[in-house]
């Protein structure tokens, strides 16, 4: 079909899906009921033509869906391969570094050197210590130390020179001062003691900084007061209850439930009800460990439950609103502080097709609202209304008000 736009009815279909509480079965039932009641789809053509037409379109989009699934699988496998390569590379680098450190530890700390090496080190030291610096050091040593101490220091210097620390000794020797210089410093210290220093006046900058710090502290105290009584989320950004533990991402929730029993759990023993805004989990003959209204709506058709190790029941719940953090699973649970949630960083390109489309749509609608323009939903409504007005020119819409 030339010029066919497969997305032009998406707004209407989405509205139909949202109103179909029983999922895809109810939607398909309504669609085929409409074809029976309002069209001659089943009887207008030759025998079997309606079925052939249906299967032709079904097969067409089935191939597309299978192809997209395979491409997504290949992309995930490629990402996993690259991730494993990075892990292997990092591990090899760490092992190489550990091997290098081990070899360094095994090497002796003090090495014996030959006469040729000692002569080479001596020449390098002679380049560093000039004749003038040697004379200066000698004069200062004569003033401070005796002949015996000089002989002792000389022996120590020879040992240190072999370890290439002559430069360090030179710096230490330069700090040695004469008797006159020491007397001069002593007099200056006595003058400072006799003249007490005045306390400096606080500057305006410090006062401003202090008031700013107090303001920030008051603000944080107000925020802490608002979050007082809330529970910190667990490592999975969820909560820990007496009989179950739940974690979450923006898209889904995983909840593990356990029971005080001594027999293995079988599916026939389980009582699990996943509603659009209600959860119930328990075993037959036992009070349920969970039975109440959820924080927000659930995609029932995409949510599942399994039995793990014959001990636990694990719920995998898909959120309807994939752009919010739940502060509790059941409304009777303690509220967690969602400000302390630590989401995994992700890029828009890393999101799945449906999630990425939803995020892009929300970003577009936000920009439209900031500019005072209609959102994507408003545009679709206007488009549907315009088509309806064109199809019914006999009706007068001039006095109509639309919300």
Quick: pLDDT tens for 304-355.
999 999 899 999 999 999 889 999 999 999 999 988 888 765 555 666 667 7
Residue 57 lies in a domain: yes
Statement to judge: residues 134 and 85 lie in one domain: no
pLDDT more than 70, % of the chain: 70
Statement to judge: residues 96 and 128 lie in one domain: no
Residue 330's CATH number: 2.60.40.790
Statement to judge: residues 330 and 256 lie in one domain: yes
Q: Which residue, 103, 127, 157, sits at the end of a domain? A: 103
Which pLDDT tens digit goes with each residue over 125-169? 777 666 666 666 666 655 555 666 767 777 776 665 566 554 655
pLDDT at 387 over 80: yes
Statement to judge: residues 121 and 97 lie in one domain: no
The pLDDT value recorded for residue 289 is 94
Statement to judge: residues 246 and 336 lie in one domain: yes
Residue 311 lies in a domain: yes
Residue 151 lies in a domain: yes
Statement to judge: residues 29 and 97 lie in one domain: yes
By residue range, what is the domain housing residue 288?
239-340
CA distances from 358 to 164, 349, 352 (A): 68, 13, 10
Range of 97-106, 153-162, 214-223, 325-334 with top mean pLDDT = 325-334
Statement to judge: residues 321 and 248 lie in one domain: yes
What residue spans of 131-195 are helical by DSSP H?
131-144, 147-162, 166-174, 179-194
Statement to judge: residues 243 and 330 lie in one domain: yes
Residue 250 lies in a domain: yes
pLDDT more than 90, % of the chain: 35
Tell me which of 60 and 347 has the higher pLDDT: 60
Q: Which residue, 318, 340, 362, sits at the end of a domain? A: 340
Residue 145 lies in a domain: yes
Residues 276/297, Cβ–Cβ less than 8 Å = yes
Residue 4 lies in a domain: no
How many CB atoms are closer than 10 A to CB 282?
20
The pLDDT value recorded for residue 17 is 86
Listed range (22-36, 96-110, 190-204, 382-396) with the worst mean pLDDT? 190-204
What average pLDDT score do residues 231-242 get? 93
Rounded to whole angstroms, how far apart are CA atoms 286 and 259? 10
Which pLDDT tens digit goes with each residue over 251-287? 999 999 999 888 999 999 999 999 999 999 999 999 9
Rounded to whole angstroms, how far apart are CA atoms 401 and 403? 7
Give, as one character, the DSSP assignment of residue 243: S
Identify which of 181, 166, 177 has the alpha carbon closest to the alpha carbon of residue 134.
166
Rounded to whole angstroms, how far apart are CA atoms 355 and 251? 8
Residue 56 lies in a domain: yes
Statement to judge: residues 169 and 93 lie in one domain: no
Domain count along the chain: 3
Alpha-carbon dihedral of residues 392, 396, 401, 403, nearest 10 degrees? 0
Identify which of 259, 258, 253 has the alpha carbon closest to the alpha carbon of residue 238.
253
Rounded to whole angstroms, how far apart are CA atoms 328 and 309? 27
When pLDDT is cut at 50, 70 and 90, the band that residue 224 belongs to is low
Range of 2-11, 38-47, 101-110 with top mean pLDDT = 38-47
Statement to judge: residues 324 and 256 lie in one domain: yes
Residue 353 lies in a domain: no
Q: Is 3 in a helix, a strand, or coil? A: coil
pTM for the predicted model, two decimal places? 0.35
Q: Which secondary-structure segment (H or E) carries 217?
A: helix 204-226
Statement to judge: residues 174 and 153 lie in one domain: yes
Statement to judge: residues 95 and 124 lie in one domain: no
When pLDDT is cut at 50, 70 and 90, the band that residue 376 belongs to is confident
């Amino acid at each position: 079909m030339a010029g066919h736009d497969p997305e032009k009815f998406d707004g209407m279909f989405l509205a139909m899906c949202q109103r179909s509480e029983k999922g895809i079965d109810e939607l398909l039932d309504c669609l085929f009921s409409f074809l029976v009641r309002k069209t001659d789809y089943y009887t207008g053509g030759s025998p079997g033509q309606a079925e052939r037409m249906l299967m032709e379109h079904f097969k067409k989009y089935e191939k597309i869906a299978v192809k997209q699934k395979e491409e997504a699988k290949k992309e995930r496998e490629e990402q996993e391969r690259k991730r494993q390569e990075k892990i292997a590379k990092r591990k090899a680098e760490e092992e190489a570094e550990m091997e290098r450190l081990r070899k360094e530890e095994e090497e002796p700390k003090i090495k014996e050197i030959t006469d040729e090496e000692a002569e080479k080190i001596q020449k390098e030291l002679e380049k560093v210590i000039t004749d003038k610096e040697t004379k200066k050091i000698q004069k200062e040593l004569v003033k401070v130390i005796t002949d015996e101490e000089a002989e002792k220091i000389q022996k120590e210097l020879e040992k240190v020179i072999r370890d290439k620390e002559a430069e360090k000794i030179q710096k230490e020797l330069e700090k040695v001062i004469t008797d006159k210089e020491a007397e001069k410093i002593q007099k200056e210290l006595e003058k400072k003691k006799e003249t007490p220093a005045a306390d400096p006046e606080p500057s305006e900058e410090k006062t401003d900084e202090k008031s700013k710090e107090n303001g920030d502290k008051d603000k944080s105290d107000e925020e802490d007061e608002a979050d007082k009584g809330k529970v910190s989320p667990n490592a999975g950004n969820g909560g820990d209850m007496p009989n179950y533990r739940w974690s979450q991402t923006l898209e889904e929730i995983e909840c593990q439930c356990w029971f005080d029993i001594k027999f293995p759990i079988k599916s026939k023993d389980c009582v699990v009800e996943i509603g659009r805004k209600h959860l119930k989990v328990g075993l037959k003959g036992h009070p349920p460990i969970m039975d109440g209204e959820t924080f927000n709506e659930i995609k029932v058709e995409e949510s599942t439950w399994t039995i793990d190790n014959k001990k636990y029941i694990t719920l995998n719940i898909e959120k309807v609103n994939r752009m919010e953090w739940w502060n509790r699973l059941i409304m009777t649970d303690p509220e967690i502080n969602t400000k302390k949630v630590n989401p995994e960083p992700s890029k828009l390109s890393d999101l799945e097709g449906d999630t990425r489309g939803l995020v892009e749509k929300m970003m577009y609608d936000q920009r439209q609202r900031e500019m005072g323009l209609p959102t994507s939903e408003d545009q679709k409504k206007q488009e549907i209304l315009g088509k309806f007005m064109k199809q019914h020119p006999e009706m007068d819409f001039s006095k109509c008000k639309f919300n």
